[in-house]
Amino acid sequence: MAFFQSFGAAGQVTGSCHLLEINDTKILIDCGMFQGEDKDRNEEPFGFDPASIDFLLVTHAHLDHIGRIPLLVKQGFKGEILCTRATFAISRLMLHNAGGLQESTPRPLYTLADVDPALSLFKPYIQYGEPVKLEEGIEVVFQNAGHILGSATLKLTFKEQEGEKSVIFSGDIGQEHRIITSAITPYDSADYLFLESTYGDRMHKNLNISIMEFKTYIEDALRAGSTVLIPSFALERTQEVLYILRQLSLQGKLQGIPVFLDAPLAINVTRTFLNYPSLFSDEINEMMRANINPFDFEELVNTESKDASSRIAGTPGAKIIIAGSGMCEGGRVTHHLLRYLGDENALIVFVGYQVPSTLGYRILHNKKGVEIEGTYVPKNAVVKSVDGFSAHADQDDMLRWVEAIKGLRHIYLIHGDKERQKQLQNVLRSLLHTKVHLTKMGRTITL
| Domain boundary residue, one of 385, 408, 423 | 385
Residues 186 and 216 in one domain: no
Residues 252 and 343 in one domain: yes
How many domains is the chain built from? 2
Q: Each residue's pLDDT tens digit in the chain (447 positions)? A: 899 999 999 999 999 999 999 999 999 999 999 998 888 999 999 999 999 999 999 999 999 999 999 999 999 999 999 999 999 999 999 999 999 999 999 999 999 999 999 999 999 889 999 999 999 999 999 999 999 999 999 999 999 877 899 999 999 999 888 889 998 999 999 999 999 999 999 999 899 999 999 999 999 999 999 999 999 999 999 999 999 999 999 999 999 999 999 999 999 999 999 999 999 999 999 999 999 999 999 999 999 999 999 999 999 999 999 999 999 998 999 999 999 999 999 999 999 988 888 999 999 999 999 999 999 999 999 999 998 898 899 999 999 999 999 999 999 999 999 999 999 999 999 988 889 999 999 999 999
Q: What is the identity of the amino acid at 24?
A: D
Q: Which domain holds residue 245?
A: 207-385
Q: Beta strand pairing status for 192-196 and 410-414?
A: parallel
Q: How far apart are CA 71 and CA 109, in angstroms?
A: 6
Residues 164 and 27 in one domain: yes
Residues 159 and 141 in one domain: yes
Query: Residue 373 is part of a domain; what is its CATH number?
Result: 3.40.50.10890
Question: What distances in angstroms separate CA 150 from CA 36, 56, 86, one per listed residue?
Answer: 25, 16, 5
Half-sphere exposure in the Cβ direction for 151 (13 Å, CA): 26
Residues 404 and 348 in one domain: no
Q: What is the identity of the amino acid at 408?
A: L
| Domain boundary residue, one of 366, 385, 404 | 385
* Residue 99, phi then psi, degrees to nearest 5: -60, -40
Residues 148 and 117 in one domain: yes
Query: Residue 156 is part of a domain; what is its CATH number?
Result: 3.60.15.10
Residues 137 and 170 in one domain: yes
Residues 219 and 196 in one domain: no
Residues 426 and 334 in one domain: no
Q: How far apart are CA 144 and CA 128, in angstroms?
A: 6
| Domain boundary residue, one of 337, 367, 385 | 385
Residues 66 and 185 in one domain: yes
Single out the residue of 130, 115, 131 nearest to residue 67, CA to CA.
115
Residues 186 and 211 in one domain: no
pTM for the whole structure: 0.95
Residues 279 and 186 in one domain: no
